[in-house]
A and B are shown apart, each in its own frame.
Chain A
Amino acid sequence: AQSVTQLDSHVSVSEGTPVLLRCNYSSSYSPSLFWYVQHPNKGLQLLLKYTSAATLVKGINGFEAEFKKSETSFHLTKPSAHMSDAAEYFCVVSDRSGYSTLTFGKGTMLLVSP
């Protein structure tokens, strides 16, 4: 069984300040972890993914995430927020071995103020 907990439903930052979106996961097997972003009335865009290689994963638009097995965490960070980063972010887990669909977290809405 697998599950994802996104610890914050909303995060507010000022433009130019760091972003931290927190995610904890549970997985019986070796997990793959993803972060997707969804802008209003749009589909899901993959930001980055961890599948078993380097634990620090770099994604698009300056985002990165670190896989920490001991903490079962996969937090998303960005050094400096931009207004265009305002969107909903989903942390997603899937087992790497065998048949496994995606399990989504409930999402974190990132608000960026000028």
Chain B
Amino acid sequence: DAMVIQNPRYQVTQFGKPVTLSCSQTLNHNVMYWYQQKSSQAPKLLFHYYDKDFNNEADTPDNFQSRRPNTSFCFLDIRSPGLGDAAMYLCATSRDRPSGNNEQFFGPGTRLTVL
């Protein structure tokens, strides 16, 4: 089945220690998204790639970076995690550019704990 895969499902890191979260997709979609979801809150879009074009949301902290080496993979790098970065990180894809006509498909998420 075509799907969005996130690894690992659970990640523990130390305060200030860089961490990378991984997302891959077999849908061959052009767009990949990263969302941050804190406990009991709605997902918040951090950034997305439309093919190789990177689009950062205005309020995404500089501490968060992303890489998309090819169509299938996208990475979220947190350069110096703080306690406030503990959250569920969701990866999503859509076939074409962000719009109401393009459904987003979500992965299962990676829960990040910062000690």
Do A and B pair up? The answer is yes
Chain B, residue nearest A36 (CB): B106
Q: Is B27 on the interface with A (CB-CB < 8 A)?
A: no
Give the residues in chain B near A49, CB-CB below 8 Å.
103
Pick from B88, B100, B104: contact of A96, CB below 8 A: B100
Q: Mark each residue of chain B from 1 to 45: 1 if its CB lies under 8 Å from any CB of chain A, else 0.
A: 000101000000000000000000000000000000000111101
A-chain residues with CB within 8 Å of residue B98 when the two chains form the complex: 94, 99-102
Nearest-CB distance from A37 to chain B (Å)?
11
- Number of A-B contacts defined by CB within 8 Å: 63
Does A26 interact with chain B (Cβ within 8 Å)? no
- Size class of the contact patch on chain A: 20 to 34
Is the interface on chain B under 10, 10 to 19, 20 to 34, or 35 or more residues? Answer: 20 to 34
The B interface is mostly helix, strand or loop, or mixed, namely: loop
User: Would you call A102 and B108 a contact (CB within 8 A)?
Assistant: no
Residue in contact with A99 in the complex, picked from B45, B99, B108, CB distance below 8 Å: B99
Question: For chain A residues 39-65, which have a beta carbon within 8 Å of chain B?
Answer: 41-46, 49, 51
The docked-state distance in angstroms from the alpha carbon of A96 to that of B106 is 20
Query: Looking at the complex, which of A12-20, A67-75, A78-86, A103-111 is the stretch in contact with chain B?
Result: A103-111
Query: Is B109 located at the chain interface by the 8 A CB criterion?
Result: yes
In the assembled complex, B82 has its CB within 8 A of some CB on chain A = no
Contact A51 B101 (CB under 8 A): yes
Q: Which of chain A's residues has its CB closest to B101's CB?
A: A96
Contact across chains for B42 and A90 when beta carbons are under 8 A apart: yes
B99 touches A44 (CB 8 A): no
In whole angstroms, how far apart are the Cα atoms of A43 and B97 in the complex? 21
Which chain A residues have a beta carbon within 8 Å of chain B's beta carbons?
30-32, 34, 36, 41-46, 49, 51, 90, 93-102, 104-107
Interface residues of B (CB under 8 A from A): 4, 6, 40-43, 45, 48, 88, 90, 92, 97-101, 103-109, 111
16 A-B residue contacts at CB 8 Å? A32-B101, A43-B106, A43-B107, A44-B43, A44-B90, A45-B106, A46-B103, A90-B42, A97-B99, A99-B97, A101-B48, A102-B98, A104-B43, A106-B41, A107-B40, A107-B41
